[in-house]
């Protein structure tokens, strides 16, 4: 380390005159003294080169530092703006911006809106001079709150006959969301239920369905009474029979009104009949009628598919019905595919109730079925499940 680095080197060396920074990201820093390396007279050794800064006593200060050489990646220039970006609320309430620019921040406001900002959004909801799209977005923001601070504005829109259907629909959906996720005082809850029941009579069909959906999810007794009366007298029903039946399902009112609903299994309207099938698929007294709908190839496809969906939630006794359908060469592929899925579901959820002999019969039938390439994957899945239940089959 003490040997001369360069034998015969002069005690003083001139600093190279050329600028060696070409290809680097900046110029090389000047040495502590002009034109000379090292700073003091001496003969550099390898030790001096390693101790380039002369930190160790009696070492030469070589007059440079490794970090003086600007190797590396140049840091990107950071743009400095004179003013911070406007807040989402400032953008949303800025009438000089386009509707698209303003509504673009609505989703951000739904998660970041502060309590003191609610009045500004409520003002936009009530402002009839604002564009409909902006008011609808403002309604959605109020519907995302976790308290009832925006409820009065939503109720006012939902109950205003002069408002557009789009705005009233948004308000009813927002009210339904608040009922589910927000803390609403008892008085406010009564106001909500009254407003939704009133919305059932709105001139806009989508508004009525939205109100129906919100009331059914809260199992409103007044709604159940209204719907069952309407199913007996269609002239008083505010929504379609199919929607009314499905709402009774959501409201948990099917067992109490099963007798009324069974009559709709014979409805001439496929949509209404489908809703009745879905409502009554677990009703023992309706089972034979529902199965007869599946066996009737002249029945609407949507009705038969609804039957298959319902049978998948039933008992293993339905397996024979499904196998008969799968064996039929007259059945369409779509129906067979649905039957294969139903069979898989039955074996998967209720197969433990089947004994060894019953499963063996099912496996035997599955092995000889030829329902087309589209059906085979579903049947193979059923086979796999059955074999796992009884590996010795």
100 and 179 housed in the same domain: yes
Report yes or no on 378 lying in a domain. Answer: no
Q: What is the structure's pLDDT at 271?
A: 96
Q: Is 160 helix (H, G, I), strand (E, B) or coil?
A: coil
Domain boundary among 168, 203, 238: 203
pLDDT of residue 319: 79
pLDDT for position 21 = 46
Is there a domain that residue 355 lies in? no
- CA distance to 64, 206, 241, 381, per residue, from 270 (Å): 90, 21, 11, 31
Report d(CA 203, CA 214) in Å as an integer.
17
Q: Are residues 132 and 165 in the same domain?
A: yes
20 and 50, same domain (yes or no): yes
Residues 172 and 104 in one domain: yes
**Do 128 and 148 belong to one domain?**
yes
Range of the domain at 59: 1-80
On whether residue 6 sits in a domain, the answer given is yes
DSSP assignments along 82-116, one per residue = SSPPPPHHHHHT-TTS-HHHHHTTHHHHHHH--GG
Q: Is residue 115 part of a domain?
A: yes
Q: Consecutive sets of 10 residues in the chain, 393 residues long: mean pLDDT of each?
A: 53 51 54 50 66 63 57 60 83 95 95 94 95 97 94 95 96 94 88 93 94 93 94 93 96 95 96 96 92 93 92 74 83 83 75 64 64 53 62 56
User: H-helix or E-strand containing 386?
Assistant: helix 376-389
How many distinct structural domains can be found in the chain?
A: 2
> Do 95 and 194 belong together in one domain?
yes
**Alpha-carbon gap, residue 378 to 265, rounded angstroms:** 29
**Predicted pLDDT of residue 36:** 45
Select from 198, 193, 199 the least CA-distant residue to 151.
193
Do 119 and 194 have their domain in common?
yes
Q: Does the global pTM surpass 0.85?
A: no
Of 36, 53, 80, the one marking the end of a domain is 80
């Amino acid at each position: 380390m003490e040997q001369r680095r360069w034998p015969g080197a002069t005690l003083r060396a001139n600093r190279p005159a050329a600028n060696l920074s070409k290809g680097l990201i900046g110029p090389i820093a000047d040495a502590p003294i002009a034109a000379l390396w090292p700073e003091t007279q001496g003969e550099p050794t390898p030790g001096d080169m390693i101790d380039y800064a002369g930190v160790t006593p009696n070492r030469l200060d070589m007059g440079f530092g490794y970090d003086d050489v600007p190797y590396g990646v140049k840091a990107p220039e950071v743009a400095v703006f004179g003013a911070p970006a406007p807040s989402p609320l400032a953008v949303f309430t800025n009438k000089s911006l386009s509707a698209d620019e303003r509504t673009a921040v609505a989703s951000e406001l739904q998660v970041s809106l502060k309590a003191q900002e609610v009045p500004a959004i409520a003002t936009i909801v009530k402002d009839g001079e604002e564009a409909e799209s902006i008011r609808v977005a403002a309604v959605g923001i109020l519907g995302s709150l976790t308290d009832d601070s925006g409820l009065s504005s939503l109720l006012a829109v939902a109950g205003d006959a002069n408002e557009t259907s789009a705005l009233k629909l948004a308000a009813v959906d927002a009210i339904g969301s608040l009922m589910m996720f927000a803390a609403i005082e008892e008085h406010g809850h009564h106001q909500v239920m009254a407003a939704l029941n009133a919305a059932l009579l709105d001139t806009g069909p989508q508004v009525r369905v939205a109100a129906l959906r919100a009331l059914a999810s809260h199992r409103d007794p007044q709604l159940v009474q209204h719907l069952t009366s309407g199913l007996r007298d269609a002239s008083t029903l505010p929504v379609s029979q199919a929607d009314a039946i499905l709402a009774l399902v959501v409201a948990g009112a099917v067992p109490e009104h099963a007798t009324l609903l069974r009559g709709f299994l014979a409805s001439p309207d496929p949509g209404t009949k489908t809703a009745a099938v879905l409502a009554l698929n677990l009703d023992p007294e309706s089972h034979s009628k529902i199965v007869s709908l599946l066996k009737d190839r002249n029945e609407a496809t949507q009705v038969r598919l609804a039957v298959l969906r319902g049978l998948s939630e039933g008992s293993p006794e339905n397996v024979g019905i499904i196998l008969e359908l799968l064996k039929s060469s007259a059945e369409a592929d779509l129906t067979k595919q649905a039957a294969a899925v139903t069979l898989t579901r039955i074996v998967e959820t209720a197969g433990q109730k089947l004994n060894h002999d019953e499963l063996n019969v099912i496996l035997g039938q599955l092995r000889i079925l030829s329902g087309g390439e589209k059906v085979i994957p579903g049947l193979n899945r059923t086979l796999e499940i059955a074999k796992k239940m009884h590996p010795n089959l």
